[in-house]
Each structure stands twice: as structure tokens, then as C-alpha cells.
A and B are shown apart, each in its own frame.
Chain A
């Protein structure tokens, strides 16, 4: 614990004191070594439970990586990759993934029209598009959910609903409150099949 505190303090002190823009090319190099095995060469995950990052807003990736690094967001497979990452690396990784064209995974399940419609019907009362915007492409700290992996969407919404995941603000926890597993499955199917 103490070592982690010291390491964090040293990292904070080591950040260069100059203005810099995030560097997507540098982010691509970093990603090649530590990210693409699970998240996909093109940022579209083919691994169940692992989210696609292609076309995500850079702010969203940055903020989530900070939460993972700090141990605020618990994702056992991911926390070790985030641990100790300097802010600069995180911002460059975010710029890289944000620059990739989004799209569905190769193994996307066939569309079930009834389930799709059921999910779509929930988006009105839940005001999903208000934050995630009309095409569900996200903005700033709010993620792209269109064409995200269905299994990941289910997992994320259950986490928010059950209080095992927190965002940078609490809107998402309350946005999914009271949703049944069937509601979540329908919402995930709808979102996963948007292009």
C-alpha cells in the first residue's frame, strides 16, 4: 500500500510541466504492446466481456482508465494493465482508440427483432439518448454504446444497477435502477445491433 502511494506520488511529480496534445501515434505503439490482444487490433473486441474501444470518446477512455488505475473501478482482468500508468500514456491511448472507426464485433449475434424492439422501447422512459446522444455514439465522458459487444453491455449495466460499478458521476447508477435482468438483456441487444 505504502509503495503504491509512493509510486503514485512520484508519478504525479514526474509529469512534464508543459502543455502537450495527446499523441495518437504514440498511443498506437503503447496499445500494440498491452491492449490489442483483448480489445482487438482495430479496437473492436472479439473477446466476450471485453469492450470495443474503437471510436469511443477520448474523455471516456481517459476517465475510465483513471478509475481502473486508481482501483475505483473493479475489473480484475484490466486493473493490472492500468496500474501505474502515467496520465500521458492514458491520454495517448485514449486518442488512439478514439481515432479508430467504430463497428460491431465479428461474432455479433443475429438480430432478434422482438428483443431489439423491446430494448428500443425502454430507451424512451430511461432517457438513454439524452446522454449517449441520438445515434448512441456517446460524447465526452459518456461512452459509445452503439454496436458495443452485447455481453459487455449486459455486464456493465448489471454492474451499475447492482452498485458494483460507479461512473465519474452517479447518473448511470440511477439510470438503470430497477431494471430487471430481462430489461437489461433487451437494452443490450438493441444497442449492440445499432450501426
Chain B
């Protein structure tokens, strides 16, 4: 601190020595995240809640579901809980962003759950995936593997460090933008994840950022699965066709209603989905660079402007009615870069036999209060539990809901 204040004094002295510099600092570049931002806008990200929310304040009673479905609190007291993975013995793991923790949720004999902390102090450990008995945690560029995790929950051993093997871009290379990960295990045994764009919207290295990528679990053989995907924080493979599908967050500061967040179907590895030239199938107002949007893969579905479509899973259970089988549940965390709130719900994308999206409908609502323009919670991920229930992580409430169906 003393050193820093001495440095500060040094800068001030330097400025005094060069009065021209003091009077007219060279114009600093507009930061990438603010490109296109209109003068006078006061939109800013919503404050997170990083303290424990008592269960009687978790708004499970406000949730609205189709007839026959019920919601209950599965776990609580896990601030900032986000992306989930289920171990072979039924432990639900949940990552986080700001609070830097990975949680474990275990079920007691009486059906209640207990929570514990697997890891903490990590930079945005949002990407979780189970490979066999091993839990992989991806925290920005850091990749950790916790072997035989469910047998060691009460005495967590040091993880295997795979950071160098994966070689993901660092937080600095991302310039603080879209560096948190989602992780999924492909039917080919590879780990699939995202590398978000290093700005809001910009010309960037399209072999390095705005990608879906896959790796062998040891970090070798990186492969670009999709290019021009701005920031995907949700992906899964279709249980029948084995195609990769992914959600994507559209750019900010291009208006309340453009672009939509999108759902992407990756038929072949390496295809270009168009960002930054095109978003949601139409030309970017600043970064189109004369490209025809028809030359890029079109989104499989539009998911609403600024809804923050994040974690997604195909419903592979049997508890829910047949119409939900192999359909895509999508958690929409909810907007900040929009004058009226959008999202804050769980949606379902219905597919036909050819794998085309026929419609997107709301499934779990009640957290967005349109009349008062406030929200009660922020769904960030869904997970199909082994019993067919749908788990929904609410980051704002530090809770996981369990949705079941009874006729």
C-alpha cells in the first residue's frame, strides 16, 4: 500500500513536470465491453447476492410450472451456486463465479440434503464436468481434476493440475471478458467447453476466442467445434443424434430487442456461426464488415433478447410426460442490458424428429416481476437427476430447486 501510494505520488509528480500531459491525457480507447453503448444509459449488471439466503426467503412458492409439476427446495445455503454436474453416486456438484467455490450436495437417507465445500478461492469455477469418478473443475483457464471425488468428500485431496495441458486463454488474454466456462462430456468421451469473446463485440482472433472447443480429458488434441459463437455458457449433446447443441449470449448495447440470444446446433465440427459479423442471423450494426449472414450457420432457435440463456440439458428421464423426452431445457438467467427485464425463467425448446426446433416455450416462471421490474431469483443451470427430476440452480438465491411431475 505504501509502495502504491508512493507510485501514485510519482505519477502526480510526473504530471506536474509535464503540464501538457496533465491537461490533456491522450484519449483512452473505448473499452471493448462499451462499444455501441448509448450516451446516458444507466443500465448496469445487477448486484449478486453472495451471502446465505435463509430457506424461508428462497422464492420456491413463487415458481409457476405447467399442470402436474411441483417445485421444492433441493439445496440451499450455497451462495452463488451455478453450473451443476452429477456424480455416479448421485452427488450434485455446483460451481460458481464471483464467490469462487465449488459445492457438493449430498442426499440424506430421509430425502433431505446436506451441502459442503469442495473447493474455494478459485477464479470463477463455473465449468464442472464428471468423467467417470473424476470431477473436472474449469476456473477461467485453470483446469483441476478431483479423482474419485465422491469417496473423498469429507477429506478432499489435492486435485491434479491440468491447466498447462489444456492451455486455455488467461483472464488477462480475455481482458476481463467472458472467461468463465461451461463444461460437458461428449458421447465421444471428450470434454466440451467454451472460450468466450474477449470484449462485448470486436474484431478478434477467431481461432482463439468466441469458440466451442473440445479436448481429450488429459487436455490434448484441442479441436474447434464451432467458430463465431460469442459466449456460450451451456451445451449438451443430443442423446440420439449425438449432435452438439449450445446456447449463446448475444452482444450488448445494440438495443433492447436486438440481438436475440440463440440456440445453436453444431452439425459438423469447425463450422462458422458468424460472430461478430452477424448475430441471431442478421448483420451487426458496427462489425458486419460486409459479410453476408447467409454464409454462416443460422441459429437453431431464437431465445429472446438479453435473456442470458445459459445452462441447457436434454431431458433424458422418464418422470416427465413423453412430450418432454429429448427436448431441451434452458435456464435463462435474465437481462441487465435491457430497459425492461427479460428471461429469469426456464424455457423448453421442442424439437421435431429431424432435430429442428418447432417452438420455444416457458416452463418455469414466476421469478420475474414485470409490474415492478424486479426479479426474485436467477436460474442459471438445469440438470436432469437420475430419478428424472429436473434440478434448477438459482444463483441469486444460492439454492437448487427440484422439479417433479405427478399425474
Contacts and interface: CB of A to CB of B under 8 A. Distances in A.
A178 B155 CA distance: 44
State the main secondary structure of chain A at its contact with B.
helix
B176 interface: yes
A121 B172 CA distance: 27
A14 B39 CA distance: 47
Given A19-B54, A72-B100, A171 B45 contact: yes
Interface residues of A, number: 75
A91 B52 CA distance: 11
A170 B375 CA distance: 21
A8 B8 contact: no
B11 A185 contact: yes
Interface stretch (B28-36, B182-190, B284-292, B314-322): B28-36
Interface string A134-151: 000001111000000011
Contacts of A173: 175-176
Interface in B84-136: 97-101, 115-117, 120-121, 123
A170 B33 CA distance: 9
Given A154-B11, A155-B8, A72 B98 contact: yes
Interface string A61-84: 011001100111000010000000
A59 interface: yes
Interface residues of B, number: 66
A66 B51 CA distance: 8
A174 B156 contact: no
A128 to B, nearest CB: 11
A130 B43 contact: yes
B99 A72 contact: yes
A64 to B, nearest CB: 10
Given A2-B155, A62-B51, A130-B37, A177 B32 contact: yes
Contacts of B47: 59, 63, 140-142, 168
Interface stretch (A24-32, A96-104, A112-120): A112-120
B28 A121 contact: no
A66 B99 contact: yes
B176 A163 contact: yes
Contact of A185 (B12, B30, B79, B171): B12
B33 A8 contact: no
B295 interface: no
A42 to B, nearest CB: 21
Contact of A17 (B50, B56, B178): B56
Interface string B234-257: 000000000000000000000000
B1 A174 contact: no
Contact of B54 (A17, A166, A167, A182): A17
Given A17-B55, A72-B99, A180-B28, A168 B50 contact: yes
B160 interface: no
B31 A174 contact: yes
A85 B36 CA distance: 41
Given A17-B56, A169-B98, A114 B19 contact: yes
Interface string A147-165: 0001100110010100100
B358 interface: no
Given A9-B117, A66-B99, A155-B8, A121 B25 contact: yes
A87 interface: yes
A180 B21 CA distance: 11
A59 to B, nearest CB: 5
A177 B35 CA distance: 13
B57 interface: yes
Interface string B6-26: 011101101100010111111
A18 B5 contact: no
B201 to A, nearest CB: 12
A54 interface: no
A152 B42 CA distance: 25
B164 interface: no
Contacts of A17: 54-56
A15 B77 contact: yes
B27 interface: yes
A163 B140 CA distance: 13
A133 interface: yes
Nearest to B158: A1
A8 B117 contact: yes
B52 A70 contact: no
A178 B11 contact: no
Given A72-B98, A186-B15, A141 B48 contact: yes
Given A67-B98, A72-B100, A178-B29, A91 B51 contact: yes
A118 B24 contact: yes
Nearest to A91: B51
A81 B28 CA distance: 37
Contacts of A167: 98
Contact of B8 (A5, A72, A125, A154): A154
Given A118-B23, A151-B8, A154-B4, 6 more contacts: A16-B54, A17-B56, A127-B37, A142-B47, A155-B1, A167-B98
Across the A-B interface, the 10 shortest Cβ-Cβ residue pairs: A173-B176, A49-B1, A140-B47, A141-B47, A87-B51, A151-B5, A154-B8, A185-B11, A168-B98, A71-B121
18 contacts: A4-B120, A12-B78, A16-B54, A18-B54, A49-B2, A63-B50, A66-B51, A67-B50, A70-B121, A71-B120, A91-B51, A118-B25, A127-B37, A150-B8, A169-B48, A174-B176, A177-B29, A186-B15
